[in-house]
């Protein structure tokens, strides 16, 4: 009888061990490093910028400014947004993006995905050569909900980074990344004015966007403890001083729009360098 009980007990122990092992295996998710958390916040934040960059490129095309160049850029920007969105959801080795497991963030990314589907349809029309006013007005209407919902996802990523990443660092990457978006948003707003789409409202929006960019740049610079990053932010400030003249006046003359096209991308690229330097400073 004792032998029978021992065998039963042993079987029960082995069964429980298997159950615990299965549970451990099921819960054995790949640990996301601090550096990967920084990359996720950076690339999710970059998506905000891409919503505005696409809108800007479509509006440059509508104004007949460097049409072929902007059509090519728009095609690439759209493809990058799509690839990054899929990478955030499913993971992407090329982009160093781990798969998102957080259910709340996934639900938010699904909202972005739905909005993107509609927005992309209008972007595709512009790429195909159909930049009529109805299409432009749809882009003007739909880009902000896409931006806002992507921004909400970025905030959720920053919050979820928790113990993996210093909250101050997460906030800094988020704010610096947001600056990239603002360089494109203000250019988009200038072009909406130039294209006669809600001109008065977009002049006001342009003023607010410029003020936010300037105050955030000052805040990032004043609170920067790395000399190399501070120097890079100085490069951004110098470019901004040149571009600010056009933005403050909401100057939509042909000469100013051409200059806006020349200045907005260097401003974006130098701001992007600063974001990458901040991300690389994670220890």
8: helix, strand or coil? helix
Residue position matching structure tokens 């990054």: 84
Instruction: Specify the pLDDT at position 164.
Output: 64
Rounded CA separation 179/275 (Å): 9
Residue-level pLDDT, tens digit, the chain, 283 residues:
444 444 444 344 434 343 333 433 344 444 567 777 888 888 988 999 999 999 999 999 999 999 999 999 999 999 999 999 999 999 999 998 999 999 999 999 999 999 999 999 999 999 999 999 999 999 999 999 999 999 999 999 988 876 567 788 888 888 888 999 999 999 999 999 999 999 999 999 999 999 999 999 999 999 999 999 999 999 999 999 999 999 999 999 999 999 999 999 999 999 999 999 998 887 7
Would you say the C-alpha torsion 224, 225, 229, 231 has a positive or negative sign? Answer: positive
The one-character DSSP state at 253 is S
Residue position matching structure tokens 């059509």: 71
Instruction: Specify the pLDDT at position 36.
Output: 77
CB burial of 181-209 (b: ≥16 within 10 Å; e: otherwise) equals bbbbbbbbbbbbbbbebbeeebeebbeeb
Q: What residues does each domain of the chain span?
A: 33-280
Alpha helices in the chain (DSSP H): 2-26, 34-62, 67-90, 103-127, 133-160, 167-194, 199-222, 227-249, 254-280
Could you give the angle at which helices 34-62 and 254-280 cross, rounded to 10 degrees?
170
Instruction: Specify the pLDDT at position 40.
Output: 87
Rounded CA separation 146/137 (Å): 15
pTM for this model (two decimals): 0.84
Instruction: Specify the pLDDT at position 30.
Output: 47
User: Which residues face 92 on adjacent strands?
Assistant: 97
Instruction: Specify the pLDDT at position 162.
Output: 64
274 neighbors 232 (Cβ within 8 angstroms): yes
95: helix, strand or coil? coil
User: For residue 135, what are the contacts with CB-CB under 8 A and spacing of at least 6?
Assistant: 122, 125, 126
Q: Identify which of 222, 209, 201, 281 has the alpha carbon closest to the alpha carbon of residue 248.
A: 209
Per-residue model confidence as pLDDT tens digits over 1-18: 444 444 444 344 434 343
Instruction: Specify the pLDDT at position 170.
Output: 81
């Amino acid at each position: 009888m004792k032998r029978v009980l021992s065998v039963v007990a042993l079987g029960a122990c082995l069964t429980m061990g298997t159950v615990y092992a299965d549970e451990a295996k099921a819960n054995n998710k790949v640990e996301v490093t601090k550096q990967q958390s920084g990359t996720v916040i950076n690339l999710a934040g970059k998506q905000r910028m891409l919503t505005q960059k696409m809108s800007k490129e479509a509006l440059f095309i509508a104004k007949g400014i460097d049409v072929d160049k902007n059509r090519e850029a728009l095609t690439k920007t759209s493809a990058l947004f799509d690839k990054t969105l899929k990478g955030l959801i499913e993971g992407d080795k090329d982009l160093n993006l781990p798969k998102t497991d957080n259910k709340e963030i996934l639900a938010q990314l699904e909202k972005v995905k739905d909005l993107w589907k509609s927005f992309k349809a209008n972007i595709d029309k512009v790429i195909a050569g159909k930049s009529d006013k109805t299409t432009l007005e749809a882009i003007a209407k739909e880009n902000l909900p896409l931006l806002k919902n992507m921004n909400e996802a970025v905030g959720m990523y920053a919050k979820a980074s928790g113990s993996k990443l210093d909250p101050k660092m997460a906030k800094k990457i988020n704010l610096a990344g947001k600056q990239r978006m603002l360089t494109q948003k203000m250019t988009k707003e200038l072009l909406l004015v130039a294209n006669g789409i809600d001109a008065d409202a977009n002049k006001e929006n342009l003023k607010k966007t410029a003020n936010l960019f300037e105050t955030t740049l000052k805040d990032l610079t004043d609170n920067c403890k790395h000399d190399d990053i501070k120097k890079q932010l100085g490069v951004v400030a110098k470019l901004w001083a040149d571009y600010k003249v056009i933005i403050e006046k909401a100057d939509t003359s042909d000469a100013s729009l051409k200059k806006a096209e020349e200045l907005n991308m260097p401003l974006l690229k130098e701001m992007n360098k600063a974001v990458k330097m901040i991300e690389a400073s994670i220890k």
